[in-house]
Structure 1
Amino acid sequence: MDKQLNRRTFLSAGATLAGGLMLPAAHAAGSKERLRIGMIGTGMRGQVLLRELVRRDDVEVAALCDIEPIMLGRALAQVEKAGKPRPQTFGEDRDPHAYRRMLDTAKLDGVIIATPWELHAKMAIDAMQAKVAVGCEVVAGVTLQDHWDVLNTQRKTGTPYMLLENVCYRRDVLAVLQMVRAGLFGELVHLQGGYQHDLRAVKLNGGDPRQAVGGGVEFGAKGWSEAKWRTDHSVQRNGELYPSHGIGPCAMYTNINRGNCFTRINAFASKARGLHDYIVKQPGGASHPNAKAKFKLGDIVTTTLSCENGETILLQHDTSLPRPYSLGFRVQGTDGLWMDLNHSIHIEGVSKPHQWEDFKAYQDKFEHPLWRAHAEKAAGAGHGGMDFFVIHAFIEALKAQAPMPIDIYDAITWSAITPLSEQSIAQGFQTLDFPDFTDGKWRTRKPIFGFDGRY
């Protein structure tokens, strides 16, 4: 990039570069125009994704499965309100294997899995073996063996699998992807991201189905929604429990599994204080039985990864202390950097020396083709529109019988950071080799994410 460009010329050139990166979509001869989609898990997250499904004319929500009657009822009401036909339902008998009956009998093209983390791997494996394409909420598995099992099943069956990582579709994240591919930051050197979100009132609530956030300090059997299952992971595990929000965009920027790969990983965990302090500070909390609970998850978990092409990536997991929400993105190269926390960018030769510029003008000029095409459709969708895009990508790729933009190798590589970080911490913060889940295919695979103007 010519360092003598002034700011106006630079931004104008950037818009041209950004628009020119879109490649045509690939279509298969057997593409379908309308899909029968099922959903396993109709809790709060499932209902957000269901909203995106029922407003599409190319999707029939054919079946819903949940063993919690309240949530299944809410999902059915959502479908009815959208004016769509009532889907088949499974799980009213609270049979934990009801989803298998759905896979066997509902004649589905695809299924959305939006259940607790520990169920994802088995459900995805069963769906792929039934030849039902999988759109799986994060994470792909819990143990390292889970990840190998999911990967090996996908390889054996050939069934499409996409990890539904919505942050890859965040508006600024996709604009930065355009900038990276246009070379604005020069050669990438270091990236950061994470999941920094105060979840204390999510992990601990009053167990009331009418109030999923706050209202008490219950978890486990007496909790409701995520407090019923997610908090147990904080009791039993210590590691980077939720890596894909941070690593997904960083992996796309650095072409992980497509010309680059992770080589080494280590993780450090702080002491655990936040959840206990939250409990004892609530009314009656000091005398509540959960005040004696022992939480294993460090309040701040810091994970570092090295890449074959020389970049380093830092992730931070921070969900048990008071803080505003932030994913903490930083993309830094030989010609400048972007940071999402202060919505700022600095490009050498364009920005004033040693000064930040506001990111808004750059984001507008480097708007990704997906957002240019679908911003109106995404308006009002969950998480600032990201949920529209992640469902849109899964459906469009499945209709076209095209490669999933976040495919099995991405899913397994990103999600396996969790058990590897747990192993590193348990072994005294040891640095470990990162497995090559692609068996060397990363050397020849080509980047596809974000090039297609439809998904």
Structure 2
Amino acid sequence: MKGLKFLLLGVCVAFAACSAQSPSVQVSDKGTHWSWDKGTIVVETPERPAGQTSVIGLTTPKMDVVRVGFVGLGMRGPGAVERFTHIPGTQIVALCDYEQERAEKCQQYLKKASMPKAAVYSGEKGYEELCKRDDIDLVYIATDWLHHFPVAICAMENGKNVAIEVPSAMNMEECWALIDMSEKTRKHCMILENCCYDWFEMNTLNMAQQGVFGEVLRAQGAYIHNLEPFWDHYWKNGEADKLGWRLDYNMKHRGDVYATHGLGPVAQALDIHRGDRMKTLVAMDTKSAVGKALVEERTGETCNNFRNGDHTTTLIRTENGKVIEIQHNVMTPQPYNRLYQLTGTKGFANKYPVQGYALDAKQMSASGVEPKVDDLSSHSFLPKDEMGALVEKYQHPILKKYGEMAKEVGGHGGMDFIMDSRLVYCLQNGLPLDMDVYDMAEWCCLAELGELSMDNNCAAVAFPDFTRGEWNKVQGYKHAYASPEDEAATMEKAKAFTEKLKEQGAKEWAEEK
């Protein structure tokens, strides 16, 4: 009996000793290392590999001409090709898609613009040959989600800058690999988040930066878009594929898998990794009802595990005590909605479903616009005239430069063209891009971190620091601009190049007749 008591005592002592030690590190099915700390899941921030340094504020040498290769020419890619034919100082060198016919079809945009034919690549590994070319500066990636990462890595390994459609990375492993590759190669890795360039978001960002709303304390964003009319338009891998790549991905993955349209614009307004950082999140979702039914309708089989809830909500708290709410719903019938809402100590902005600003008379006057009504109150949105005067005063410089042409060229109302134009502008002028690889990681990581939260009873999850300690190095989000003299000189060269390129292209197309 004494021996048994002694044995039990030893077990208790050993258990207590183990409990007192640091929590054991766990590894998710995606390879992410995490541990518990006082009820919070802490995701590991890997050490920066030797020889790498931060790419915050990264610049590359000025490019008189931006030579582009496009990979992925299904739904969004062709529109990007067409838009680039309107941007002076660019040359479309190569077109690539899994299906050769899609790539060849995009030659029509070059012909219409009197630009020379581009080289065509196709097949599963066609992008590798494109990336090996020595006459490409930028690889523009608009493939399905699962191919964003391998194409981007291949491009940077071959010395190319990359611009990646959303979501640019599907899990933490991909986020870190893209960060490391950008830091290692000193090449830009930009997320193509077009919603950062919509009119209301840009003007509101300018207002926030000028203090119109006081200190912004809370922000909302979303991607609420019933995709019922689109599910069957996503590429299917042969006749056996009944779902298409996007519905299949939603079936297999929990969390906000498409967070960037809602998160990107509000992250800029809150200066994320430019004086503040996302610190902790909690995610919750509804059960899957519509998603489950979609699979069953298409396969004729029972679907017992559709991972993505019909509606997912993620709450984020920042280092400086701000709160962000992001929603995702592509399943239920309701109007399109990205929310975009800023709540400040002195004002309020809201885009969906009602677009408007709320300021009292005192704050309106302090913002440089005298109200025409006597009873202006922040209890309701500004009247039409006051709102128009506010928007006119705070129209973003980028909209002044590109807005009118963007409406003519199009692309989600013009914001795609503004995004592409800014990308080219920064490369031509040797400036930091509007969005860097850390933005990409921060905006894309909600998918896996939210999944981790919900799979652990909606536990709090601590964000890793993608900047590895440099989130406070830059104070305030800013767009970079060249001097008026440099800008004019760059544009003159760009227009001269495009004029000659069109002469060459017109001659080549005429010879084909």
- The equivalent residue for 2:349 is 338
1:452 aligns with 481
Q: Is the 8 A contact 2:281 2:463 kept in 1?
A: yes
Q: Give the aligned partner of residue 402 of structure 2.
A: 374
Q: Corresponding residue for 1:229?
A: 245
Shifted more, 265-274 versus 74-83: the winner is: 74-83
Give how far 1:266 is off: 1.4
Q: For this pair of structures, how many residues does the alignment match?
A: 408
Q: How does 1:55-454 map to 2 (within 5 A)?
A: 55-91=86-122, 94=123, 96-105=124-133, 107-203=135-231, 205=232, 212=233, 221-222=238-239, 228-277=244-293, 285=297, 289-290=299-300, 292-294=302-304, 295-341=306-352, 342-348=354-360, 349=362, 350=364, 351-358=376-383, 359-380=387-408, 381-450=410-479, 452=481
Higher mean C-alpha deviation, range 401-410 or range 316-325: 401-410
Q: Structure 1 CA distance, aligned partners of 2:147 and 2:294? A: 28
> For the Cα contact (< 8 Å) 1:62–1:106, is it kept in 2?
no
Deviations 1:156-189 (A, max 9, x none): 1111111110100111101001110111111111
State the Cα distance separating 1:352 from its structure 2 match. Answer: 2.0
Paired position in structure 2 for 1:13: none
**CA separation of 1:353/1:324 partners in 2, compared to 1, >3 Å: closer, same or farther?**
closer
Residues 220 and 262 in structure 2, CA contact (< 8 A), matched pair in contact too: yes
Aligned-partner SS, 1:371 = helix
Q: Which amino acid aligns with 1:129?
A: E
Q: Could you say what secondary structure the match of 1:386 adopts?
A: helix
Q: Greater CA deviation, 62-71 or 343-352?
A: 343-352
The structural deviation recorded for 1:150 is 0.7
Relative distance call for 1:56 and 1:429 in structure 2 (3 A) is: same
Unpaired stretches in structure 1, ≥5 consecutive residues:
1-25, 206-211
What residue number does 1:34 align with? Answer: 65
- CA separation of 1:220/1:300 partners in 2, compared to 1, >3 Å: closer, same or farther? farther
> Structure 2 CA distance, aligned partners of 1:318 and 1:353?
30
Query: Is the partner of 1:296 in helix, strand or coil?
Result: coil
Q: 1:272 to 1:219 in 2, by over 3 A?
A: farther
User: Counterparts of 2:350 and 2:87 in 1: how far apart (Å)?
Assistant: 35
CA RMSD of aligned residues (A): 2.4
- Secondary structure (helix, strand or coil) at the match of 2:276 reads coil
Distance 1:449 1:248 in 2: 14
CA drift at 1:450: 3.5
Are the aligned partners of 2:223 and 2:337 in contact in 1 as well (CA < 8 Å)?
Answer: yes
1:107 Cα deviation from its structure 2 partner: 1.9
CA shift at 1:448, angstroms? 4.7
Identity of aligned residues (%): 27
Q: Does structure 2 conserve the Cα–Cα contact (< 8 Å) formed by 1:200 and 1:275?
A: no
Look up the SS of the partner of 1:83 in the other structure: coil
CA offset at residue 76 of structure 1?
Answer: 1.9
CA distance in 2: counterparts of 1:159 and 1:147, whole angstroms: 15
CA separation of 1:290/1:200 partners in 2, compared to 1, >3 Å: closer, same or farther?
Answer: farther
Is the CA contact 1:202–1:227 (under 8 Å) kept in the aligned structure 2? no
Q: Distance in 1 between matches of 2:288 and 2:474?
A: 41
2:142 & 2:471 partners in 1: Cα distance?
A: 29
Q: 1:279 to 1:162 in 2, by over 3 A?
A: closer
Aligned counterparts of 1:68 and 1:88: Cα–Cα separation in 2: 14
Counterpart residue type for residue 246 of structure 1: G
**Which secondary structure state, in structure 2, belongs to the residue aligned with residue 432 of structure 1?**
strand
Which consecutive unaligned segments of at least 5 residues does structure 2 have? 1-56, 365-375, 488-513
Instruction: Provide Cα deviations, 1:53-77, integer angstroms capped at 9, x if missing partner.
Output: 1222311100011111332132122
| TM-aligned CA deviation for residue 140 of structure 1 | 2.2
Provide the rounded CA distance (Å) in 1 between the counterparts of 2:60 and 2:178. Answer: 28
